[in-house]
Amino acid sequence: MHLAAGNASLRCDYCKTVVIVPADDEGVRFLGEDVSGFTCPICSTPLWNATLAGVQMHACKRCNGQLLAMGVVEHVIDQLRATFTDPQIPSPPNPDDLRRKIGCPKCHQRMEMYFYMGGGGAVIGGCEGCRLNWLDGGTLMRIVRAPHHEGESAHRF
């Protein structure tokens, strides 16, 4: 089976059957194990090809961490925020999270940890060389559900 148009289903090349993949609680659709060899930097299990808000990404089925291309994170957040009308005040961020050592699933170099400046007080990882962001399980929804202001983004200060 291969990923079909629209990124939410799989299609069999032989019998032409289309399977709609159900989404998890956060809207992630796991489409099959990733053949690129990427492993989760948190629990070391293989990442899966997945989609969220129509965007292709890699995700971990065990810890729910998500690997997204830089520049796509804001699009996904905007898409998901459109579905939430009841913001939730998040707990204060933990500054110790900035010192975490997480290796990039692609190049295995240490990812830079920084506060996402678009609400939620969340810490995310970034690999500038590979142009990838890592979000621990629950981080994306923490950002989406947090009160925010127009113009906020993931820029580091």
Please write the tens of the pLDDT for every residue from 117-150: 877 889 999 999 999 999 999 999 889 888 865 5
How many domains would you assign to the chain? 1
- Position 153 in a domain: no
CA distance 64 to 128: 22
- Position 134 in a domain: yes
- Position 157 in a domain: no
What was the pLDDT predicted at 62?
A: 92
Per residue in 71-125, pLDDT (tens digit) is: 999 889 888 888 877 777 777 888 899 999 999 999 999 999 999 887 788 999 9
What was the pLDDT predicted at 104?
A: 97
- Position 81 in a domain: yes
- Position 152 in a domain: no
- Backbone φ/ψ region at 7: left (φ over 0), alpha (ψ -120 to 50), beta: left
Mean pLDDT over all residues of the chain?
82
> What is the span of the domain harbouring residue 77?
2-145
Is the model's pLDDT at 153 over the cut of 60? no
- Position 154 in a domain: no
What was the pLDDT predicted at 10?
A: 61
- Position 131 in a domain: yes
In sequence order, the 6+-apart residues with CB closer than 8 A to the CB of 44 are: none
- Position 150 in a domain: no
Burial (CB < 10 A; 0-12, 13-18, 19+), residue 5, is exposed
Closest among 64, 72, 65, 95 to 7, alpha carbons compared: 72
pTM for this structure?
Answer: 0.78
Per residue in 30-75, pLDDT (tens digit) is: 877 776 789 999 999 999 988 888 888 999 999 999 999 999 998 8
